Amino acid sequence: MTRRSIGIIVNGVTGRMGYRQHLVRSLLAIRESGGVPLPDGTRIWPHPVLVGRSETKLREIAERHGLDDWTTDLSAALARDDVEIYFDAQVTQQREKAIRAAVEAGKHVYTEKPLAEDTAAALDLARAARTAGVRTGVVQDKLFLPGLRKLKRLLDGGFFGQVLSVRGEFGYWVFEGDWQPAQRPSWNYRAEDGGGIVVDMFPHWHYVLAELFGEVRAVSATIATHVPRRVDEAGRPYQATADDAAYAVFELDGGVIAQLNSSWAVRVFRDELVEFQVDGTEGSAVAGLRRCRAQHRAVTPKPVWNPDLPVTEDFRSQWTEVPDNEDFDNGFKVQWEAFLRHVVAGEPFRWDFLAGARGVQLAELGLVSAREGRRVEVPELAL
């Protein structure tokens, strides 16, 4: 067996996403499973170069996982010939300049979303990468969730007939940080630090809607900062300046209407933290992170509105579980494997910087819609 080692800078590895999903659950998990196999029998072997700001934290992570390649000097790491990929999971605001440096150093780039803070910057990065001839990718992990994969299977099998609408509910209560610590980093709640639920979630909604149902043509959004004061990691109270909830309607190609609520100020009375209900002429389905349940038109009950009587039907029990029929691996890992095959073997990979820029664009236009109180059309983006 031939091993093809590939050096990958993992910048922001001390953060929530960088450490858990990308280092541990993706790159190290790929090594544990023997590397990414190519058709000729070669196995791609990721070699992580941990990059961050804190020597103590980097050393601690490296030792915990038996790694020895780490540095606080990004420029030095980018100058290395044995490093071919730059990966970014830093806070969003630090991303653009680091990616620009990586592209200038001739590295292929894979990054967390959002690609940049505004569309112009995202497109500029996409153009710079094209000029430099490097390959690019942006994390679109939700596409690889078991629930959405099963939903895609229903779509591909023609289960819905004509899709009419999508209703999505995302969110949970993020603690304020005083009487119980917050479960998300405080920068998410400060606009000046790149926070806000629109910037965070609309890039996800863009690729979920575009890949499953049709390109987004217009957006109408209302946003709110429901919890205006929070307490940060150091116990200091701060003003929440970013939106923590967004109530949005997206109009898609082909006439599908998608209505998605995103909120960090909502308590969960659902089966999963995100759920999408899809209604079509022939059937409906409700997909979450892991589960997907469906109801065909032939078995749809006929409820009659009568508030004088107690509900007699158990509506949830009238849906059928869509079976897994396959093993679903971690979505971040699956996408990493695809990107590595793209870089090493030239396999197709469509979740590139231009795809990432479309996500940034939807967030930007969602905020315009909310600020100006109007429906905003989403123009086609091209390089």
Ligand X SMILES: NC(=O)c1ccc[n+]([C@@H]2O[C@H](COP(=O)([O-])OP(=O)(O)OC[C@H]3O[C@@H](n4cnc5c(N)ncnc54)[C@H](O)[C@@H]3O)[C@@H](O)[C@H]2O)c1
Q: How far is the CB of 52 from ligand X (least distance, A)?
A: 5
**Residue placing its CB nearer to ligand X in the complex, 86 or 159:** 86
Q: Which stretch binds ligand X (CB under 6 A): 29-37, 84-92, 244-252, 285-293?
A: 84-92
- Relative to beta strand 43-51, strand 3-11 is parallel
Rounded CA gap, 298 and 233, in Å? 53
Q: Judged by CB under 6 A, does residue 185 bind ligand X?
A: yes
Residue 146 sits at φ, ψ, to 5 deg, of -55, -40
Produce one character per residue of 26-44: b if its CB has 16 or more CB atoms within 10 Å, e if not.
Answer: bbbbbbeeebbebeeebbb
Q: Which stretch binds ligand X (CB under 6 A): 14-22, 66-74, 242-250, 335-343?
A: 14-22
Residue 187 sits at φ, ψ, to 5 deg, of -60, -25
Selection from 276, 279, 273, 272 nearest residue 295 by Cα:
279
Q: Which stretch binds ligand X (CB under 6 A): 89-97, 124-132, 249-257, 341-349?
A: 89-97
Answer for the pair 21, 40: CB distance below 8 angstroms, yes or no.
no
Q: Judged by CB under 6 A, does residue 18 bind ligand X?
A: yes
Produce one character per residue of 93-113: b if its CB has 16 or more CB atoms within 10 Å, e if not.
Answer: eebbebbbebbebebbbbbbb
Selection from 254, 257, 253, 255 nearest residue 378 by Cα:
253
Q: Judged by CB under 6 A, does residue 12 bind ligand X?
A: yes
Q: Kindly compute the dihedral angle of the four CA atoms of residues 215, 247, 183, 98, in this order, to the nearest 10 degrees.
A: 40
Other C-beta atoms lying within 10 Å of the C-beta of residue 351: 22
**Residue placing its CB nearer to ligand X in the complex, 184 or 291:** 184
Calculate the alpha carbon distances from 103 to 49, 85, 86, 108, 135 in Å.
Answer: 17, 10, 9, 7, 9
Q: How far is the CB of 371 from ligand X (least distance, A)?
A: 21
**Residue placing its CB nearer to ligand X in the complex, 113 or 150:** 113
Of 84, 96, 169, 200, the one binding ligand X (CB under 6 A) is 200
Site track for ligand X across 44-73, x = CB under 6 A: --------xx--------------------
Q: Judged by CB under 6 A, does residue 141 bind ligand X?
A: yes
- Letter for the amino acid at 78? L
Q: Which stretch binds ligand X (CB under 6 A): 76-84, 90-98, 211-219, 220-228?
A: 90-98
Answer for the pair 349, 201: CB distance below 8 angstroms, yes or no.
no
Q: Judged by CB under 6 A, does residue 139 bind ligand X?
A: yes
Of 69, 70, 92, 198, the one binding ligand X (CB under 6 A) is 92
Q: How far is the CB of 14 from ligand X (least distance, A)?
A: 4
Q: Judged by CB under 6 A, does residue 15 bind ligand X?
A: yes
Q: Judged by CB under 6 A, does residue 90 bind ligand X?
A: yes
Q: How far is the CB of 287 from ligand X (least distance, A)?
A: 17
Nearest residue to ligand X, scored by beta-carbon proximity? 15
Q: How far is the CB of 283 from ligand X (least distance, A)?
A: 29
Q: Judged by CB under 6 A, does residue 16 bind ligand X?
A: yes
Size of the site for ligand X (CB under 6 A): 19
Q: How far is the CB of 180 from ligand X (least distance, A)?
A: 18
Rounded CA gap, 277 and 284, in Å? 7
Of 112, 211, 243, 364, the one binding ligand X (CB under 6 A) is 112
Other C-beta atoms lying within 10 Å of the C-beta of residue 202: 29
Q: Judged by CB under 6 A, does residue 168 bind ligand X?
A: no
Tell how far CA 223 is from the center of its chain. Answer: 20
Rg (CA), the chain: 22
Q: Which stretch binds ligand X (CB under 6 A): 85-93, 169-177, 217-225, 242-250?
A: 85-93
Q: Interface residues with ligand X (CB under 6 A)?
A: 12, 14-18, 52-53, 89-92, 94, 112-113, 139, 141, 185, 200
